[in-house]
Structure 1
Amino acid sequence: MNGHRGTGALKNRRSQLGGRLQRALEWCGWESRSMLAHIKAGRSLTNYGQYHLTRSQFVVAAVAGALLIYGAVYLFYHSIFLSFMLASLGIAAPRYRRRSLLQQRKERLKLQFKEALFSLTSSLAAGRSLENAFLSTLDDLKLLYPDPRTELLIEFQIVHFRLENAEPLEYALRNFADRAGIDEITQFVDALAACKRSGGDLLEVMKRTSVIISEKLGTEQEIAVMVAQKRFEGRIMMAVPFFFLAFLGLAAPDYMAPLYGGVGYLLLTAALLLLILCFWTMAKIMSIQM
């Protein structure tokens, strides 16, 4: 009897440990097999507020993060054991890689939507109805983006399919806007729905809305270019101390020897923590929400 209880308790502990490990991996960006199979089967429409890493993306990001941490720690402490131990923190790198890929996908979607608005405005100005203008825009997108995996091309094909099934255009666009989570797309859909409800001049409202949103997206892109330049400069500034430390370690090892013992480790630790604080501060400054 006691043996059965002991076995049950052991299984329960293993189950709890496995659950905690699974949650920790999911926090780092690891996706379960069922989730990957669900995505691969294409059973649901894309939610642009989430990004799911493939197994290869997760492994590459984790290995790159581990190597980066290993190299940085070894430069400061010249300890293989400590470097290997802290390199295990690289398992968290896929979480930040996933966030970066998510932001890149949203920026691509914004740029593609801007191009679609230009085409839509031209079609409306030519006298086409709103539905026909969207179908014409789909043809233009196919010329602009030959890759069938282009995000907005897929979304407009979904809109086209829903129109063929007699679904109102504003409902199809609302679904897209809810999944995209982008203010410009939501504003466009809101303007379209309000205009149809109020019976206003649909052509004029859509033309004005398209122009205003296009100008806003253009301004955001100019800001993004300037921020990207400063972000690149910040990364170079953060890399310089590590290159400088490596250069001194190779060129003048006797000069650097006092740092690798006693009080020297405290100075190196303080310098490393200060660099991490500077990197975090620069990342916060550069994370401009647009």
Structure 2
Amino acid sequence: CAVIFAAGYIFYRNVLLSLLLMPFALLYPRIKTKEIIKKRKNELNLQFREALYSLASSLSVGKSIETAIRDSLKELSIQYPDADTYILIELEQINRRVEMNETIEEALIDFAQRSHLEDIINFADVFAICKRTGGNLVQVIKNTSEIISEKIDTKQEINLLLMEKRLEHKVLNLMPILIVILLSSSAEEFMAPVFSEPAGRAAMTFSLVLFAAAYFISKKIMDIEV
């Protein structure tokens, strides 16, 4: 709210008009929530890959999938000491459901649907088919882990390439505000009509709209999905 008010005051030099912009601050929680969800999905995807490595290792020595999941939970508990780690919570829940005589396929499909991650959903579907038809589970798990690894590596490479552009994006977002502050302090008479005349305020409003549009468009361009 304070940021919106400050930006409004810089562009309008009017407390009332700045207060009228305050409702736009309600958009921030929604934007922040999307960012948090995306971050958590990326973390879960990375942790799921590690779980698949552990599952493949256990299955390759002849263990059942139920036993392999229990062993994976123990191994990952060492790798991720925090009990609130997403994959530990999910594996624990899968184990409980299996102990309650629910099939492993149903437990995995439920996990996949709640994760909203394409890789996990695809894995759960293929896993269910393999269980019904007697397919090679070890190979399926290895293939899935390789696909996820390739996606993660590609995403990391893209992030490295965009790191400099993201810094430029932040600097350019500040430039309009800095220019207005500079002109207001160094050329007060020149900027006075902009803050007092209706045409000037209309121009400032149009500038704010362009500023906001440029911010969201540039952010969307750099948000590359793999």
Q: TM-score range by the shorter chain?
A: 0.7 to 0.9
Counterpart contact for 1:112–1:152, Cα < 8 Å: yes
Q: Deviations over 1:100-123 (max 9, x none)?
A: 222222122112112222222333
- For 1:265 and 1:74, the matched residues in 2 are separated by 12
Give the secondary-structure state (helix, strand or coil) at the position aligned to 1:147: coil
How far apart in 2 are the matches of 1:143 and 1:174?
A: 26
Residue 214 of structure 1: CA displacement?
A: 2.7
- State the 1:150 CA deviation: 1.5
Asked if 1:122 is matched to 2:34, the reply is no
- Are 1:283 and 2:214 an aligned pair? no
**Correspondence for 1:210:** 145
- Offset from partner CA, 1:43-86 (integer Å, 9 cap, x none): xxxxxxxxxxxxxxxxxxxxxxx212111111111101111121
Q: CA deviation at 1:238?
A: 0.9
1:245-264 to 2 correspondences below 5 Å: 245-262=180-197, 263-264=199-200
Q: Are 1:138 and 2:49 an aligned pair?
A: no
Taking only aligned residues, the RMSD between alpha carbons, in angstroms, comes to 2.4
Match of 1:104 among 15, 27, 39: 39
TM-score normalized by structure 1? 0.69
Separation (CA, whole Å) in 2 of partners of 1:194 and 1:151: 26
The structural deviation recorded for 1:270 is 3.0
Distance 1:190 1:220, change over 3 A: farther
What is the distance in 2 between the residues matched to 1:224 and 1:153?
27
One-letter identity of the residue aligned with 1:170: E
Residue 21 of structure 1 corresponds to none
Q: Which residue of 2 aligns with 1:180?
A: 115
Q: What secondary structure does 2:69 align onto? A: helix
Deviation at 1:138, TM superposition (A): 0.7
SS at match of 1:91: helix
| 2:125 maps to which of 190, 195, 198 | 190
**Hey, what's the Cα distance between the residues in 2 that align with 1:143 and 1:67?**
43
Is the CA contact (8 Å cut-off) linking 1:124 and 1:207 kept in structure 2?
Answer: no
Note if contact 2:52-2:141 (Cα within 8 Å) is conserved in structure 1.
no
Give the counterpart of 2:21 among 86, 103, 108. 86
Q: Does residue 159 in structure 1 map to residue 94 in structure 2?
A: yes
User: Which residue of structure 1 lines up, in the alignment, with residue 201 of structure 2?
Assistant: 265
The gaps in structure 2 that reach 5 residues or longer are: none
**Aligned-residue offset at 1:228:** 6.0
Question: Higher relative contact order at CA 8 Å, sep ≥6: structure 1 or structure 2?
Answer: 2
Deviation at 1:174, TM superposition (A): 0.9
Identity %: 38
User: How many aligned positions are there?
Assistant: 225
Task: Give the letter for the 1:108 counterpart.
Answer: E
Aligned pairs for 1:222-233 (under 5 A) are: 222-224=157-159, 226-227=161-162, 230-233=165-168
| Structure 1 ranges of 4+ moved more than 4 A | 224-229
Cα shift at 1:153: 1.0
SS of 1:260 mapped into structure 2: helix
Kindly tell me: are residues 227 and 113 of structure 1, through their superposed partners in 2, closer, same or farther at Cα, counting changes over 3 Å? farther
Task: State yes or no: 1:69 paired with 2:9.
Answer: no
Q: Given residue 286 of structure 1, which amino acid in structure 2 is its aligned partner?
A: M
- Distance change in 2, residues 1:168/1:203 (3 Å): same
1:237 correspondence with 2:178: no
Opposite residue 177 of structure 2, the aligned amino acid is F
Distance 1:275 1:106, change over 3 A: same
1:80–1:98 distance in 2 versus 1, CA, 3 Å: same
Structure 1 segments unaligned to the other structure (5+ residues): 1-65
Secondary structure of the corresponding residue to residue 146 of structure 1: coil
Structure 2 counterparts to residues 27-38 of structure 1, below 5 A:
none
Q: Does the residue aligned with 2:43 lie in a helix, a strand or coil?
A: helix
